[in-house]
Chains A and B, each alone.
Chain A
C-alpha cells in the first residue's frame, strides 16, 4: 500500500534545477523538469507518467527514455530505480501501417 499524501510530504515540494529544460523523451519532447514536477503532483509510476506527459509513448515506445524516466522518478521519490515498476509493453513492437494490418486475417497465408 502506498500512502500518496504521506509520500508527497516526505519528498517535499518541487524545487527547480538548472537542467530542468533537458529533453528526456525525444519522441514526445518531455523535459526532465516536467517529469520531476509531475512526481510532486502525485505521479509516482511510469504508467501514470506516460498518461500524464506522454513520455515513452512515441514511435520508439520508450526504448530510449524508459530507463531515464525511471531513474528521474526514483531520484525524485528518493528510492532506488528498482522500486519504480517498469512500464508495460504493447503490441505492435514496431509501428506498422494500418493497411498492412488490415490485410491480416489472423492466419499465415492470407
Chain B
C-alpha cells in the first residue's frame, strides 16, 4: 500500500489555492493542487469585469485575465495542478482521498491547504424549485463559461456585488433584467456597480422579496412584495413581472465540509461555518490551513492575498523559510490585505449604514435605496466639477479600495492620494486632454468625459460602453439618465477603442448642453 506524500497538498485551484501554491513553490516546496473542475481558476474565469483595488491587487484587470496570469505563474514555478480530481475525504495524519477519473487515490501532505471556496445560498419561496430559478453564480457559469443565455426576461434577487455584477453581465449577454429586488432596505454592493445597472433602466426594489414564482412546468412569472420590519410581506404591495428566469444572489456559504470532517475547530458565524484560523490561515489541527472563501466569504482579490499568506506560513511550517523571513513577507501581504479591507465596505462596517464618506460628505441615500445618485446629489462629490472644455466627471461616491484612475491620468487631473479608499478628486489646475484613459480604467464605470460646448447649444458626454453591437458614429438614439429614464435625444459622435482600454469602448454622444450632467447612458431606441 503506497501513499504518495507531498510537502503541500492544496485542495481547490481557485485564486486562494493557486496563489498559495505559487508562493510556497517560490520557496522550494513541491505543492500539488487538486480541483474537481475541468478548468482551474475557480470563479475567476467567470469574472469578465475589471477588478477593484490598486496595482498590486491587479486592479482594472478583468478577473479571467487574472486567472490566466495565475496559471502561467503556477506553471513557471512547477506547481502540479490535477484537474477533474475531487477530494472526497480529509482524514487524520493529513491524508486525502481523491477521486480522479474512475480511481480513488490516497495522498498524504506534510501540510494541507483547504481552499475549496463557497457555494450559493438558496432561499425558499413558493415555486423555488421550478426550472428557471437559478443561482446568480450558475447564471454566470452558463453565460461566461458555456456561452449559454440563461433566460430572456430575468428578475434578480439580491443587491450585493454578485447580484449587481451578474445583472449587468446578463444584460451584456442580451437578457432583459426586469427588476432587481432585495429584502434589505439598502443596496448591499458597491454603489458604482448599482449605478451602472440602474442607468441601463433596471428598476431597484429594496425592502422587497419574492412572494412566489409562477408557472406549471417552468417559470413564467414572479411576484415580489414589500417587506415590513418583521421581514414579512405587507399585503397589497405585491408586484407581478412576466419573467422566464429568476436569479438568486442571496449570499454564499463556505464549503467547509472537508475541514469539519478533519475535526478542525469551527466557528458558526453569520457568514457560515468557518474554521477557526490564526492570521496565517492555520487551523486548530497542526498542518491544516484554510484560505479564501472557505475561511470567510470575501472577494477574489483578498482570497489571492490570503492564499499567499497561507503559502508563506506553510513554507515556514515545513522549514523552507525562517520565521523572520515569514514575518516580513506576511507583514507585506497583510498591508495589501488591509488596504482592501478599508472603506465603507470594510468587514467592520458590514450591515451598518454609513451616512458620511471619510471626507465628511453625505452619502447618497438614493444610491442606497434606488441604485442611482440623483442629479442634485451628484454635485457634492469631489470628482464632479464644472469646467470649461473637456474634463472628467467622476461619479465615485463611496469609499471603496480602488485607485487605477489616479495612475490612468498622465496629466495629473485625478487625485486619490495615499489612502486608496479616498474619493477621487479633480485637480482643476491640471488640464484634461480628453484621452479617455480614466474612463476605460475605472472598474466601476463611473467616469465620464464631459464637454459643455462643442457647438452652439450642444455638448458631448463620453462614457464607457461594454455592450454589443457597438454603436457607430452617426447613430441616433436616446440618452438615459442615472436613473435609466429618458433625458434627451442623442447622436453618437465618436467611438473609440484601443488595446489599453481592454475591451471597454469609449462612446461619445452629443446632447443639448444643459443635458451633459444628466445623460449617462446611450440606447439606440427609446
B126 interface neighbour in A19, A68, A82, Cβ under 8 Å? A19
Q: Is the CB of A109 within 8 A of B88?
A: no
Chain A residue contacts of B104, Cβ below 8 A: 96, 100-101, 103-104
Q: Which of A94, A100, A106, A108 has the most C-beta atoms of chain B within 10 angstroms of its own C-beta?
A: A108
A2 on the B face (CB < 8 A): no
Q: Is the CB of B268 within 8 A of A108?
A: no
Residue of B nearest to A19 (CB): B126
B36 interface neighbour in A32, A85, A88, A94, Cβ under 8 Å? A94
Q: Which of A26, A92, A97 has the most C-beta atoms of chain B within 10 angstroms of its own C-beta?
A: A92
Give A84 Cβ to nearest chain B Cβ, in Å. 8
Give A26 Cβ to nearest chain B Cβ, in Å. 5
Residue of A nearest to B124 (CB): A22
Q: Is the CB of A63 within 8 A of B97?
A: no
Knowing A22-B126, A64-B122, A104-B104, the reply to whether A94 touches B86 (Cβ < 8 A) is: yes
Chain A residue contacts of B119, Cβ below 8 A: 63
Chain A residue contacts of B121, Cβ below 8 A: 67
Knowing A107-B2, A107-B106, A108-B4, the reply to whether A89 touches B125 (Cβ < 8 A) is: no
Give B135 Cβ to nearest chain A Cβ, in Å. 10
Knowing A96-B104, A104-B97, the reply to whether A89 touches B257 (Cβ < 8 A) is: yes
Give B109 Cβ to nearest chain A Cβ, in Å. 13
Q: Is the CB of A65 within 8 A of B122?
A: yes
Knowing A26-B129, A63-B255, A93-B86, the reply to whether A106 touches B106 (Cβ < 8 A) is: yes
Chain B residue contacts of A9, Cβ below 8 A: none
Chain A residue contacts of B272, Cβ below 8 A: 67
Interface set, chain A 32-89, CB cutoff 8 A to B: 32, 61, 63-68, 82, 85-86, 88-89
A23 on the B face (CB < 8 A): yes
B324 on the A face (CB < 8 A): no
Chain B residue contacts of A67, Cβ below 8 A: 121, 253, 272
Give A35 Cβ to nearest chain B Cβ, in Å. 11
Does more than half of chain A's interface fall in helix, strand or loop, or is it mixed? loop
Q: Is the CB of B124 within 8 A of A92?
A: no
Residue of A nearest to B98 (CB): A108
B2 interface neighbour in A26, A88, A108, Cβ under 8 Å? A108
Chain A residue contacts of B268, Cβ below 8 A: 82, 85-86
Q: Is the CB of B99 within 8 A of A94?
A: yes
Q: Is the CB of A68 within 8 A of B2?
A: no
Q: Is the CB of B261 within 8 A of A91?
A: yes
Residue of A nearest to B259 (CB): A89
Chain B residue contacts of A23, Cβ below 8 A: 124, 128-129
Residue of B nearest to A24 (CB): B124
Chain B residue contacts of A64, Cβ below 8 A: 122
Give B257 Cβ to nearest chain A Cβ, in Å. 4
Residue of B nearest to A70 (CB): B268
Give A94 Cβ to nearest chain B Cβ, in Å. 5
Chain B residue contacts of A63, Cβ below 8 A: 119, 253, 255, 257
Give A110 Cβ to nearest chain B Cβ, in Å. 8
Knowing A68-B122, A93-B86, the reply to whether A100 touches B129 (Cβ < 8 A) is: no
A-contact 0/1 string along B104-127, CB 8 Å cutoff = 111100000000000101111110
Give A50 Cβ to nearest chain B Cβ, in Å. 14
Give the A-binding residues of B (Cβ under 8 A). Answer: 1-4, 36, 86-89, 91, 97, 99, 102-107, 119, 121-126, 128-129, 253, 255-258, 260-261, 266, 268-270, 272-273
* New A-B contacts (10) at CB < 8 Å, excluding given A64-B122, A107-B1: A63-B119, A65-B122, A66-B253, A85-B268, A90-B261, A91-B89, A96-B99, A97-B102, A107-B105, A108-B105
